[in-house]
Amino acid sequence: MTRVNALLLLAVMLSALFLVRTQYESRRLYTDLDRAKAQAQRLENEHDRLDIERGSQATPLRVEKLAHEQLHMRTISPAITQYAAPANPIVESAAVESHKEQP
């Protein structure tokens, strides 16, 4: 009978240790999940901020301003437009014919 009691006591002790270890792992995994959720939220907020910033950087007015100031570009007008003549007469005649066919 004492062997059965000792065996049952050992089983209860192992079960208790396993339960404590399982609860510890559960708590650790829960805190890891909580940290991962917080990091995902931070990354989502940063993505939204960068998306808005990118949108504001690419407005047509800002692009045109940078083109004028930094690249020294100017708007097109018929007065400054230069046309290049094709070097190949076959290409020139084909271009003239296709231009005549269009309404």
27 pLDDT above the threshold of 90:
yes
pLDDT digit string (tens) for 55-78?
A: 888 888 888 888 889 988 888 877
Distance CA 14, CA 24 (A): 15
9 inside domain: yes
Contact by Cβ (8 Å): 96, 90: no
Q: Does residue 32 lie within any of the structural domains?
A: yes
In a domain, 84, yes or no: no
Which residue, among 89, 88, 66, 67, has the nearest Cα to 76 in the 3D structure?
67
Q: What is the pLDDT, as a whole number, of residue 63?
A: 85
Whether this model's pTM surpasses 0.85: no
Q: Which tens digit of pLDDT belongs to each residue from 88-97? A: 656 555 555 5
Give percent above pLDDT 90 in the chain. 50
pLDDT number for residue 85: 75
Domain assignment of residue 68, given as a range? 2-76
pLDDT for residue 103 is more than 80: no
